[in-house]
């Protein structure tokens, strides 16, 4: 996770082994079943989910595929470093004024966090494009548009696609990588167990 930012565990894990792994990676802050049902939350709806990060307090996301015999839905992963490379040598500071306003998954209250924050010698991106709030000034609006264009170029050229088969687990560094998935057939019984893990020791993006 420090080096590559994600890891597909191809060996089949039991539920206990998966939980043990999650516990070893940090503090589990949420343990949730991801499947399709009538819900306002995108994660439970069949439509494609574009690249995004999970909430800012989450450092590692772990998914475990549970259902046998369901064709896997490709998971998509993109390194934020690829987006920054596409963005080139521009001033990142205006991105700190772009806020994402999102419903807290636990209590549904509205929360806000900036696209870019810094702590110590690391940068952190919290990016859910469809939750971008009002832009405070022209400079921030221009920087956000440029960011979205860079994201689109990087998405087309550098997205990694992985299939998660029954029993397998996928781990992702939420500080360095975006994720999304293809559309799910509406009748799919796809069932993942997802852990949100907090661990500030996991390497983020180096300051620039």
Strands (E), the chain: 6-9, 27-35, 49-52, 60-65, 75-79, 99-103, 110-114, 116-119, 122-125, 160-162, 169-173, 177-181, 191-198, 205-206
The two three-digit tokens of residue 88, written as one number: 């080139």
Instruction: Tell me the window of 10-18, 51-59, 117-125, 146-154 that interacts with Fe ion (CB under 5 A).
Output: 51-59
* Binding of Fe ion by 82 (CB under 5 A): no
Q: Which is nearer to Fe ion, 77 or 92 (CB)?
A: 77
Instruction: Tell me the window of 28-36, 49-57, 73-81, 124-132 that interacts with Fe ion (CB under 5 A).
Output: 49-57
Q: Which residue is nearest to Fe ion (CB)?
A: 54
In angstroms, give the least distance from the CB of 58 to Fe ion: 9
* Binding of Fe ion by 54 (CB under 5 A): yes
In angstroms, give the least distance from the CB of 107 to Fe ion: 18
In angstroms, the CA 133 to CA 100 distance is 6
In the chain, where does DSSP find H-type helix?
A: 15-25, 80-87, 138-158
Contact yes or no for 176/202 (Cβ under 8 A): no
In angstroms, give the least distance from the CB of 125 to Fe ion: 14
Angle between helices 138-158 and 80-87 (to 10 degrees): 120
Instruction: Tell me the window of 52-60, 77-85, 135-143, 147-155 that interacts with Fe ion (CB under 5 A).
Output: 52-60
The two three-digit tokens of residue 25, written as one number: 């990676």
In angstroms, give the least distance from the CB of 126 to Fe ion: 12
* Binding of Fe ion by 59 (CB under 5 A): no
In angstroms, give the least distance from the CB of 49 to Fe ion: 7
Side-chain half-sphere CA neighbours of 125 within 13 A: 29
Please calculate the CA angle 158-143-160 and round it to the nearest 5 degrees: 10
Q: Which is nearer to Fe ion, 75 or 92 (CB)?
A: 75
Q: Which is nearer to Fe ion, 52 or 158 (CB)?
A: 52
How many residues bind to Fe ion according to rule CB under 5 A?
A: 1
- Positions touching Fe ion (CB under 5 A) are 54
């Amino acid at each position: 996770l420090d080096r590559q930012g994600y890891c597909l565990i191809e060996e089949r894990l039991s539920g206990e082994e998966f939980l043990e792994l999650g516990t070893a990676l940090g503090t589990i802050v949420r343990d949730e079943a991801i499947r399709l049902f009538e819900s306002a939350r995108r994660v439970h709806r069949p439509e494609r989910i574009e690249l995004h990060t999970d909430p800012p307090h989450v450092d590692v996301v772990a998914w475990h595929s549970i259902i046998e015999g369901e064709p896997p839905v490709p998971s998509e992963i993109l390194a934020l470093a690829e987006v920054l490379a596409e963005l080139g040598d521009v001033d990142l500071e205006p991105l700190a004024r772009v806020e994402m306003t999102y419903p807290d998954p636990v209590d549904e209250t509205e929360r806000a966090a900036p696209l870019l924050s810094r702590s110590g010698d690391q940068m952190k991106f919290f990016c859910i494009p469809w939750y971008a709030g009002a832009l405070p000034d022209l400079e921030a609006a221009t920087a956000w548009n440029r960011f979205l264009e860079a994201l689109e170029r990087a998405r087309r050229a550098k997205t990694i696609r992985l299939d998660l088969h029954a029993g397998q687990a996928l781990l992702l560094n939420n500080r360095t990588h975006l994720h999304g998935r293809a559309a799910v057939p509406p009748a799919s019984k796809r069932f993942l167990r997802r852990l949100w893990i907090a661990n500030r020791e996991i390497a983020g993006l180096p300051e620039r």
